[in-house]
Homo-oligomer: A and B are copies of this chain.
Amino acid sequence: MNKQFLLASRPTGTPSSENFKLVEVPIPDLKEGEVLVRSLYISVDPYMRGRMNDYKSYVPPYSLNEPIAGGVVGEVIESKSSQFQTGEIVMGMYGWQTNGVVNGKDLQKINSDIAPISTALGVLGMPGLTAYFGLLDIANPQAGETVVVSGAAGAVGMIVGQIAKIKGARVIGIAGSEEKINYLKEELHFDEVINYKTTSDIKADLRNACPNGVDVYFDNVGGSISDAVLLLINQGARIPLCGQISLYNLEKVDIGPRMQPLLLINSALMQGFIVSNYMSRFHEALPQMAQWVAEGKIKYKETIVEGFENMPTAFLGLFSGENIGKQLVRVAD
């Protein structure tokens, strides 16, 4: 039998466990070309919140009463594809299920010699590639420039900061707990990290941390944190828009200070993106990321929740900031 979490209802505001339904269904027989994968690690990501709404976005909305789609690393249990052998470790997008029946064309092999297999969902997967292309392709930080990253202790943010350090930039993180801040400063050598939850004046903290202004703002969160950063942008600033997690659970369009005048007077660039825009260039990024990880220039962290039944809990924790680094659910050994 296969366990699945279905989207039972579309959340209004902050999702709750009520929006998800756990079901057991038989595993169908494999057709020619298909592979049966036993899930080992399942990813939960902030972008999934957007797909729970029924509106146009860069990916289609989830369907009600269907399994929630997303990245999974698993082991091949049975194969009717000539490309895959039993026992191989693969990555697919079949989502919140303990087992996936997937066409071999939609699976990628994972080389466990390079790094632990879970990294295919993190630093060597979508979050790492998101950091790589958003920072290097859109923002192209130069040595000596100031790079601010919000959501700095998240799966993307902590990679952004480390790549910016590799490029010689001064890196300021914004995160929401002392544990995160200590990790970013002590382990990842961010130059400064601001705790947005405890500060009494984030604008003043940012001014102090960025005496030469802000050249790059990698935005994972949006809202008032981003408003504060934008006040400090320099001429020619670049602002990759990667996420707006502070807004995802709001029930109506948020209002805030208009930022177009700041972009105008600073000849600044703001660019929304999604990692799939860069699919044709993944092959150039992944070896570089793997090399940086192997050299210890990029470290990573995962927050792992145990047990398939805890998928919704792990997902909801993203919005209260429970995770440091990539949030995963381990569903089998």
Contact = CB atoms under 8 A, between A and B. Distances in A.
Interface in A232-264: 235, 241-244, 247, 253-261, 263-264
A57 B267 contact: no
Interface string A217-230: 00100110010000
A60 to B, nearest CB: 12
Contacts of A257: 253-255
A271 interface: yes
A282 to B, nearest CB: 16
Nearest to A252: B257
A254 B258 contact: yes
A273 interface: yes
Contacts of A261: 222, 244, 247, 253
Contacts of A277: 267
Nearest to A263: B272
Interface residues of A, number: 36
B50 A265 contact: yes
A235 B58 contact: yes
Contacts of A265: 50, 56-58, 272
Nearest to A242: B264
Contact of A267 (B219, B264, B267, B274): B274
B58 A266 contact: yes
Given A222-B258, A256-B255, A256-B258, A270 B266 contact: no
A270 B274 contact: no
A68 B107 CA distance: 66
A58 B236 CA distance: 10
A93 interface: no
Given A255-B257, A258-B255, A261-B247, A267 B222 contact: no
Interface of A: 50, 56-58, 219, 222-223, 226, 235, 241-244, 247, 253-261, 263-274, 277
13 contacts: A57-B265, A222-B258, A222-B260, A241-B264, A243-B264, A247-B258, A256-B256, A256-B258, A263-B271, A267-B272, A267-B273, A270-B270, A270-B271
